[in-house]
């Protein structure tokens, strides 16, 4: 669907909504203790009279008659970045050059629609509504590193980035800052050093000296501005992206068809979860949006100039092609062309460029997920534990990208392949890393990172050339490829569903409509009659990787597109789950024809635990030889213990290899055979029980090459 079609459909949706309004009842929510945020602002007109007036004029949403000012006088958890009268005056003055006004006053607007739009910009970008969560955000609750986002979006559905001491500086490992009084929102809006952390009955107020006005540029807009003005920084990448014909894709922001259906109530929440067979919760909420997202990793122009390539060279793409060939930034088995038809997916430049792009919007603090790995504690997020990594499928030709971070790496890397302390008595920390396996460091805290200026994505600078070369594929082929269930579902990342740091129920149980109603995921088909829910389990720890899980009830019938493998060869495909007697049983199908998949094994019964089934499980004894023999016997039966790297932290000191009192993490081998990286494979799970109340869950998937699971010299590790 083109952007033009999406816009047309959205316009139709707005016309349908034009007669619908919602009045939020705040009459019983007023708090008479101290001041509410709204009352406090009104009591200080010398600073906030302009802002207070705007609060009375701006509606809380498109379908609401309630003003933002009314909300700020009701019970809640609001974080208000209140601009001063001077800040609003300066903002209006900045609009003179755009032609919207002739002088810095509201009376000088000649277009009432544009005036209302500017009012909404000032108000909705300045307030975070934490909903039912326990608190608003004081400055000591802000992210600790430069450029990271506050986890709650503002009322304009944008997340705000925090910077300390100006862009490029950050807190050290002890939490100290070079300039503790210097905190900037989005890098350019200073928070007043004295008038901050002002407690009110329904939240907290921070005075800002500039209007928060995040740009609405798409990634395409941002790159086109670089091209038009010949700005150096990412000019080489911008020229490559344009040549490959990717701008229309990078212009997409959200699925307006879904947006319209949601607002009209055509896509509803899942009520009465327990009656449907889920183990916990009464309601699961559908996402409000279906946004598109992109993450671009780019070598900077400084790097290219060091390679003798000028970003402004008229023959840039030809020289870039020669550089890729000369430096072997491809694989010998690739089917590629070296002509000037850069939009052709077979073109070498096209394949190289699209490997830099992920079809999901990953914020800097979620490039890898730190949650419950051994040695990590949420209370001390700067002290990393065991090494953490995940694998993502890139845009365009389907290829793997490894994202990695350890305490020793001191940052996030792409395609890093270190030596880990992965013995039975190790700690999974990085022991060493060969120079040719260091990978690309992601400059998430680099001042050149584009974190708040693009509405549908992020751009991260990298310190080394990135490509899907023979060396990368060989190293991936020597690795166990473990995919968190949600890393496969790109939309969950772009829409801030995966590991949302929110305790509010809307973010804990998220319900996705089945595909006949509306297909939310590009690579998951949910049959009619299936109820599919993501359980975030934030601060509620389970013995799963990252604690979270996805699950389905009903007469479930789900089909996934599997991630690719790096090399052709024999692999085991493993389903990772947390077994307990309340689960269900499903038949697994596998193949490369989505409409004609083949039975891969006997039905997978995840009701079978280590206590009530013949899995061969025994607790580790400390006798390495005996414990290895237990693992081998389990493997022969088609079972494996969970990974040793994750723990049931916060509840019990168990790792994924151990079991708690009545449930246990398990892996089941569901397929073993040859897999081709140039084929797309699918996995289907279909209920075989005569009940619509059983629950089927997935934690992880693993593709493990024979070189790893059947290595006679170095057996597969327990982690």
Instruction: Evaluate whether 438 touches 464 at the Cβ level (below 8 Å).
Output: yes
Structure-token match 């949910």, residue found: 526
For 72-127, where are the alpha helices, taking DSSP H only?
Answer: 85-94, 112-124
pLDDT given at position 144: 84
Q: How far is CA 430 from CA 401, 408, 554, 565, in A?
A: 19, 6, 44, 24
419-465, pLDDT tens digit by residue? 999 999 999 999 999 999 999 999 998 999 999 889 999 999 999 99
**What is the full DSSP assignment across 283-299?**
EEBPPS--B--EEEEEE
> Within the chain, how many helices (H) and strands (E) appear?
19, 33
Query: What is the fold of 480-709?
Result: Jelly Rolls (2.60.120)
Q: Tell me the domain boundaries of the chain.
A: 31-208, 363-443+464-477, 480-709
Q: How many CB atoms lie within 10 A of CB 493?
A: 22
CATH topology of domain 31-208: FAS1 domain (2.30.180)
- Give 519-582 as a 3 state SS string: CCCCCEEECCCEEEEEECCCCCCCCCCCCCEEEEEECCEEEEECCCCCCCEEEEEEEEEEECCC
**What's the confidence (pLDDT) of residue 651?**
54
pLDDT tens, 328-357?
A: 999 999 999 999 999 999 999 999 999 999
Long-range contacts of 307-310 (CB under 8 A, 24+ apart): 309/236
pTM of the model: 0.90
DSSP strands (E only) in 415-529: 419-420, 430-432, 440-441, 457-462, 481-484, 509-512, 524-526
Helix H or strand E segment including 400:
strand 400-406
Q: How does the average pLDDT of the chain come out, rounded? A: 90
Low-confidence ranges of the chain (pLDDT < 50): 1-33, 168-180
- Compute how many other C-beta atoms are within 10 angstroms of the C-beta atom of residue 134: 8
Secondary structure letter of residue 654 according to DSSP: -
Torsion of CA 435, 437, 438, 439, to 10 degrees: 140
> Which residues 6+ apart lie within 8 Å of 116 measured at CB?
none
CA–CA separation, 708 vs 698, rounded Å?
Answer: 23
| Best CA proximity match to 586, nearest among 627, 552, 614, 540 | 552
Distance CA 284, CA 349 (A): 44
Bin 134: left if φ > 0, else alpha if -120 < ψ < 50, else beta.
Answer: alpha
> Of 632, 656, 293, 331, which Cα lies nearest the Cα of 482?
656
E strands, 52-185, in order: 78-83, 127-129, 162-164, 183-185
- The pLDDT score that the predictor gives to residue 25 is 36
Q: How far is CA 316 from CA 337, 338, 464, in A?
A: 17, 14, 19
368 phi-psi bin (left φ>0, alpha ψ -120 to 50, beta other): beta
Phi-psi region of 529 (alpha: psi -120 to 50; beta: other; left: phi over 0): left
At a CB cut-off of 8 Å and minimum separation 6, what does 653 contact? 647
């Amino acid at each position: 669907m083109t952007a033009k079609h999406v816009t047309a459909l959205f316009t139709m949706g707005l016309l349908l909504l034009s007669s619908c309004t919602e009045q939020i009842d705040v009459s019983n929510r007023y708090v008479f203790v101290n001041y509410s945020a709204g009352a406090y602002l009104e009591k200080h007109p010398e600073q906030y009279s302009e802002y207070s007036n705007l609060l009375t004029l701006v509606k809380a949403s498109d379908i609401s008659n309630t003003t933002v000012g009314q909300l700020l006088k009701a019970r809640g958890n609001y974080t208000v970045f209140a601009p001063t009268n001077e800040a609003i005056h300066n903002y209006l003055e900045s609009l003179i050059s755009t032609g919207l006004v002739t002088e810095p006053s509201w009376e000088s607007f000649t277009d009432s629609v544009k005036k209302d739009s500017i009012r909404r910009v000032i108000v909705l970008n300045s307030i975070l509504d934490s909903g039912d969560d326990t608190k608003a955000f004081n400055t000591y609750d802000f992210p600790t590193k430069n450029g990271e986002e506050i986890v709650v979006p503002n009322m304009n559905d944008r997340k705000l980035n925090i910077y300390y001491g100006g862009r490029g500086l950050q807190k050290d490992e002890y939490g100290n800052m070079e300039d503790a009084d210097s905190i900037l929102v989005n890098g350019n809006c200073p928070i007043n050093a004295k008038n901050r952390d002002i407690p009110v009955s329904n939240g907290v107020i921070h005075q800002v000296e500039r209007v928060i006005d995040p740009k609405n540029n798409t990634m395409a807009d941002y790159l086109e501005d670089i091209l038009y003005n010949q700005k150096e920084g990412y000019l080489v990448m911008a020229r490559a992206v344009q040549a490959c014909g990717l701008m229309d894709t990078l212009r997409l922001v959200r699925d307006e068809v879904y947006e319209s259906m949601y607002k009209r109530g055509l896509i509803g929440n899942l009520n009465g979860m327990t009656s449907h067979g889920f183990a916990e919760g009464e309601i699961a909420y559908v996402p409000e949006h279906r946004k598109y997202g992109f993450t671009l990793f780019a070598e900077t122009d400084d790097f290219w100039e060091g390679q003798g390539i000028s970003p402004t060279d008229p023959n840039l793409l030809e020289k870039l092609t020669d550089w890729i060939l000369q430096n072997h930034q491809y694989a010998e088995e690739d089917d590629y062309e070296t002509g000037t038809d850069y939009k052709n997916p077979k073109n070498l430049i096209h394949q190289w460029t699209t490997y830099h792009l992920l079809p999901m919007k990953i914020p800097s603090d979620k490039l890898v997920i730190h949650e419950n790995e051994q040695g990590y504690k949420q209370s001390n997020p700067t002290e990393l534990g065991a090494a953490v990594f995940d694998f993502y499928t890139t845009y365009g030709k389907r290829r793997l990208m490894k994202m990695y971070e350890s305490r020793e790496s001191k940052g996030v890397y792409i395609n890093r392949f270190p030596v880990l302390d992965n013995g039975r008595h190790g700690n999974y920390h990085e022991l060493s890393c060969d120079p040719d396996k260091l990978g690309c460091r992601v400059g998430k805290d680099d001042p050149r990172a584009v974190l708040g200026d693009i509405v549908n994505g992020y751009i991260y600078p990298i310190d080394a050339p990135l490509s899907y070369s023979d060396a990368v594929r060989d190293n991936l082929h020597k690795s166990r490829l473990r995919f968190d269930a949600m890393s496969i579902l790109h939309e969950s990342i772009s829409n801030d569903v995966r590991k949302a740091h929110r305790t509010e129920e809307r973010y804990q149980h998220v319900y996705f409509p089945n595909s006949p109603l509306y297909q939310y995921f590009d690579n998951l088909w949910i049959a009619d009659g299936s109820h599919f829910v993501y359980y975030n389990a934030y601060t509620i720890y389970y013995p799963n990787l990252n604690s979270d899980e996805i699950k389905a009830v009903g007469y479930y019938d789900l089909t996934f597109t599997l991630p690719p493998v790096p090399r052709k060869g024999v692999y085991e495909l493993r389903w990772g789950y947390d077994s307990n007697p309340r689960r269900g049983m499903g038949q697994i199908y596998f193949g490369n024809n989505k409409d004609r998949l083949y039975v891969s094994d006997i039905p997978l019964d995840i009701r079978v635990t280590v206590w009530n089934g013949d899995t061969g499980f025994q607790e580790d004894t400390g006798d390495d030889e005996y414990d290895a023999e237990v693992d081998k016997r389990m493997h022969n039966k088609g079972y494996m213990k969970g990974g040793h790297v994750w723990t049931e932290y916060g509840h019990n000191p168990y790792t994924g290899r151990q079991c708690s009192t009545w449930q246990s993490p398990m892996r089941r081998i569901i397929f073993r055979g040859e897999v081709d990286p140039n084929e797309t494979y699918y996995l289907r799970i279909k209920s075989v029980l005569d009940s619509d109340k059983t629950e089927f869950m997935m934690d992880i998937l693993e593709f493990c090459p024979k070189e790893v699971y059947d290595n006679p010299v170095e057996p597969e590790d327990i982690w």
